[in-house]
Structure 1
Amino acid sequence: MMPSGGIQKLKEFWNLQKAGHPAWRNHPIVSKRSFDAEHTLPLQLHGDGTPVVGIGKIWSRQLTSYTWNSLLADGWTKDSMMPSWFCFDETEAGRETTEEFFRIISWSFGCLATGVWPAADHLGAKYPASSLEARRAGSPLANGLRAIIWSLNGDAEYLVSRLGLPHYGSKKGPCGLCRCTGDDNSAETWRDCSASARWLSLGWTREAWLASAERSQSSIFCNGLTVLNVHYDYMHCKYLGSDQIGFGSILDLLVNHLMAGDSPLTNLKQCWDSIVTSYQRLGISERYRSFRKLTMFQRKKKCPKLKGRAAQIAAFGEPLLELWNQYMNPEIAVHCKIRTYLRLNIAMEKIMKECRTETAFPEPQATNFISYAFAMCNLHLELGAHFEEEGQKLFSSLPKLHLLLHTVLLCRHINPRLTWCYKGEDVQKAWTNLS
């Protein structure tokens, strides 16, 4: 749990949060003068569902797991992810069970924040004087260390269904962190990805969110936790979000419009040969095994969407750019925009790799990362509008573009790697086997 940098690493983390993380301002624990930054660990609570019975069947049963970990922990995933509770989804019907769990775990972490054993249970009932709990009440709980939940994360479905955040498809308000709208005709629309977007000034403050009648009433939001502690996941928003749509659209353009083979399938085989060459030349280890079917990215009625694991998609930008450069026409403006889109995407990933050991992005990487992300998302929307005018379903807009920008905007205070769901997703395999 304790980072390899020890007390110095903890001080660095909390100083970065104090410098501008929106959850810091007026936080009932960390913003006080008495806050002990040298002995308080920042924790993350992660939730996610996975099929464990009848996988792939219509009658499959899904298990939702809740785990927590230190944001600064080193080491193997299975050593650092601590399981708290598992529940089949049908057991959670009506939310009473989930809310009771949230009340218990909030009480537990509230005790950990004080650093001493409690004198009463989660219902407020004092322990009997002769009990073990009563005898150790008030004594150090974790050898002088404390901890608070600083990050709540999971995929978009989990944040909506379990934490009660706004649905990402809602026209009224699809985002939990700001008061943007899903209305294209509104000045506050999330589809404005420019650096001067109106929604940038509409972020929630602690006081405004707590006073809102429409805010989530989930029991997890206590002990200083608010929606400002929610970190949208970079992995789901980008690799398993905008990149899937963008990369799938580019492959569709190549095999159906730009290449001169006998059929789209023949063109796909030629694409794959080029991709393999790029993989080898660039030394990329997270590779696709093959592209044998058009269904790898084509869908019957919807916009193309590239299938694959997050790591495969994350490493696909450079091979795809080399492939695009072979067949694009530099005299066609939209082709040049797609090339720029890919270059921006790759530039973001290079910064992610360059800063992988940092607690937060230093300058100029932070400024560049934010600039590249806004430009890439803006291009995605421009390309979508262009192809829509031509009657093609390519580069469809999706709210994950907006959610991605929220994660990117925090990079000066917390590295997106610290709050992404790779660890949570990885450990799901273990929970599937256990169930």
Structure 2
Amino acid sequence: MSSFRFLHAADIHLDSPLRGLSRYEGLPLEEIRNATRRALDRLIAIAIEEKVSFLILAGDLYDGSWQDASTGLYMMKSLSRLVHAGIRVITLSGNHDAQSVIARELPRPAGIDHFSYDAPETIRLEDIQVALHGQSFRERHVRKDMTPTYPEPVSGWFNIGVLHTSLSGYGEHETYAPCSVETLASKHYDYWALGHVHARQIVCHHPWIVFPGVLQGRHIRETGTCGAMLVSVENNTVQSVTPVACDVIRWSHIVIDIADLHDLDDVMHAARLRMEHALAQADGRTVIARVTLTGTTTLHDSLCASTCWQDDLRSVAVSLDTGQNPIALEKLRNKTTSPPTTNTLHDLDTALSKLMSDPEFIATLSDDFEMFFSALPGCVERSSLMADENSWPLEEASSALRARLMGSAS
């Protein structure tokens, strides 16, 4: 029985275009534009340094239909470095790859195996007795479970299923090749190398079902460490699945609750501490951050009245730039609210009392209630909603609203 290690990555989205970032002042656009290539370079370097036996790329190597052949050539040149180092490469086309005709026609050097578009197949690595089973996407929208036709495991070998899938649905990701943990487990493979979901996740340990996540975060919805999984196997048993960072730019969403802060100087101090923490976590990488201020605060009105606080935040970011791992601010958002005041509640109560004594207003509400009741299903009786069918519960609602408003001020 052999011992070996392999890398599992997915969702490289090489040369993914920048969308909307150019409108934010001070962002290192060229650095962001080249980030996916540099992350791929780092993945290749890690594979060689760790002396892995093979690399799995579980779909979305590219980002849709690209016109510039240099994107594909860069990918093939990078993967060829692994082949020259004696490392096998196994790739699979995902939903984004299926859009690109150029990607399909691009010649692949010997040592780079690509799963068929026509049917599931098995790629065998005879020297270490590893069998990889998978199928590429021919069309972008694969709505059916692909795994029932995946081959049976090779007896006595370490078996890996490679699949680009949303499983049963994960958050914002569209549904592709849906399947369940139970379906995957029923194939009796030792490891499932998945792609498509951009958040790193170990879904199951028996068998191992793993999303490595996106190789390089490309926008504010892809925050935190991004990269691949390094898998160690001994005697056909997974010993460890270890995340390895490949990203060169780290996205961070900094949310600051300023409810207990007294002035803008306090806000800037809190922001500085949070930015310093983000830089420390980035381990020398450039940080692209979005800052959102939250909380109920007396500073709300001054924040709304002027954008000076945004300039101050950008100044804080600039002051933290050591020339090695800067922090750049993408979007600055004010999501604070103003605390209610006794005067405001008094005004609301006065206005409510005035409306409740206005016959025309009451008549209007009566019409609205009639429309509401007429829209209810026939099985819902008006008497079940109102104790007295001839009177509208306006006074009760008024009293309840007054109580809640006045209670929030105390």
TM-score (norm 1): 0.25
Relative to its length, the structure with more strand (as a share) is 2
Relative to its length, the structure with more helix (as a share) is 1
The structure with the largest alpha-carbon Rg is 2
